[in-house]
Amino acid sequence: MAKKDACAIIGFAPSTRSQAPWGNKNITLFGINEEFSFDFWKRKHPEEGEGNVLWFQLHSRESFTRKDNHNDPHHFEWLQSEVRFPIYMQQKWEDIPSSVAFPYDDINRLFDSWLKPVGASFDRYFTSTLAYLLGFAALEGFKRIELYGFDMAAGTEYLRQRPATSFLLGLLKGKGYDIVIPPNSKLLQGYGQYAYDDSMLGMRQEFEFNANKLASDVYEEMEQSNIKQGEVFALEDMVKLHSELKEELEKTRSDANKSAKNLMKLIGREEGLRNAIKIYDTYMNLEGDKSENQ
């Protein structure tokens, strides 16, 4: 297989990144952001990288030069070093020797030619680094596109990036590109067939509704508990001067204790439902791995 035939786009998610074809020199590896400093990136020697590694740092200069980069505080220094492969960026930077301008306009024209007949615009699907790289792979003629280290199963990735990625993967598949995704990846995974085998989704909705109702009950009970406790404090002071209020104090203290116990029960029930929702989300692959970074 010629090097131009296949590429592997590698992200940060631990679930599948180790399955990347590290030893296959006929597959061009696409690296992103600060991955080179991580141990999981196996192809580190210059002679191995030359010719079949391409790098992509598509964030703003303000982003890739920051000193508080939690992935690699020395990332900018690495970008400025003499690496043996091109680093595609928003533009060519004089202080980054290997930087190459990312062909945004060419990718946009290619995909617009596919999408305009159906009234869509490709720039609306640039919601992640992966989306850009799928466009790049198509533009450069890679007929086989493999994805590793991408789940997009939580937070912003799930809500904003995943739909566009799913669309682009389907578009490329329809255009004849061979798309390879590990079976344990969360990409292109749904929840079940609606109205037939998604009863658990209905259960989640019920859990969420009840948890929100309990949150309201907790707030109301907390107010009542605070009021009762305030009455206890006031009566304790008043009993010092009016001993005949002892009976009222004991009754109020009893009511305050009951309210406090009821409050704790409500809090426990709410937390239990929230935990049940988390368990469901994990089971249905909605949580994802929080270390994924795109």
Is 250 domain-assigned?
A: yes
Residues making up the chain, counted from first to last: 294
Domain assignment present for 226:
yes
> Are 67 and 210 part of one and the same domain?
no
240 and 153 in one domain?
no
Structure tokens at 14: 């631990």
**Residue 291 is assigned to a structural domain of this protein:** no
Distance of CA 17 to the CA centre of its chain: 15
16-38: pLDDT as tens digits: 999 999 988 889 999 999 999 99
φ/ψ of residue 239, rounded to 5: -65, -30
Task: Examine the domain organization and report whether 158 and 211 are in the same domain.
Answer: no
Structure tokens at 20: 């990347």
- Residue ranges making up the domain that contains 266: 199-283
Instruction: Output the DSSP codes for 257-272.
Output: HHHHHHHHHHHHHHHH
Pair 215, 95 in one domain: no
**At residue 191, what are phi and psi to the nearest 5 degrees?**
-100, -25
- Asked if residue 191 is part of any domain, the answer here is no
Residue 26 CB contacts under 8 Å (≥ 6 apart), including other chains: 1, 2, 3, 5, 6, 52
**Dist CA 150 CA 72 (whole Å):** 20
The Cβ-side half-sphere exposure at 231, using a 13 Å CA radius, reads 19
Displacement of CA 194 from its chain's centroid (Å): 24
In tens, the pLDDT along 102-127 reads: 999 999 899 888 888 777 777 777 88
> Could you tell me if 158 and 242 lie in one domain?
no
pLDDT of 13 strictly over 90:
no
In the chain, the amino acid numbered 193 is Q
What is the rounded average pLDDT of the residues 49-65?
87
Residue 274 neighbours by CB under 8 Å, 6+ apart: 211
CATH of the domain at 155: 3.90.1480.10
pLDDT of amino acid 292? 44
Contacts of 76 (CB under 8 A, 6+ apart): 64, 65, 66, 69
Question: What is the domain count for the chain?
Answer: 2
Q: What is the pLDDT of residue 158?
A: 55
CB 152 within 8 A of CB 286: no
In a domain, 120, yes or no: yes
Closest CA to 186 of 211, 166, 204: 166
pLDDT of residue 293: 47
Label residue 71 left, alpha or beta by phi (over 0 means left) and psi (-120 to 50 means alpha): alpha
Global pTM? 0.65
137 and 31 within one domain: yes
Dist CA 57 CA 8 (whole Å)? 16
What's the chain's average pLDDT?
Answer: 84
DSSP string, 10-70: E-S-TTTGGGS-TT-TTSEEEEETTGGGSTT----SHHHHTTTEEEE--S-HHHHT-TT-S
Residues 14, 148: one domain?
Answer: yes
Give the Cβ contact number of residue 34 at 10 Å.
21
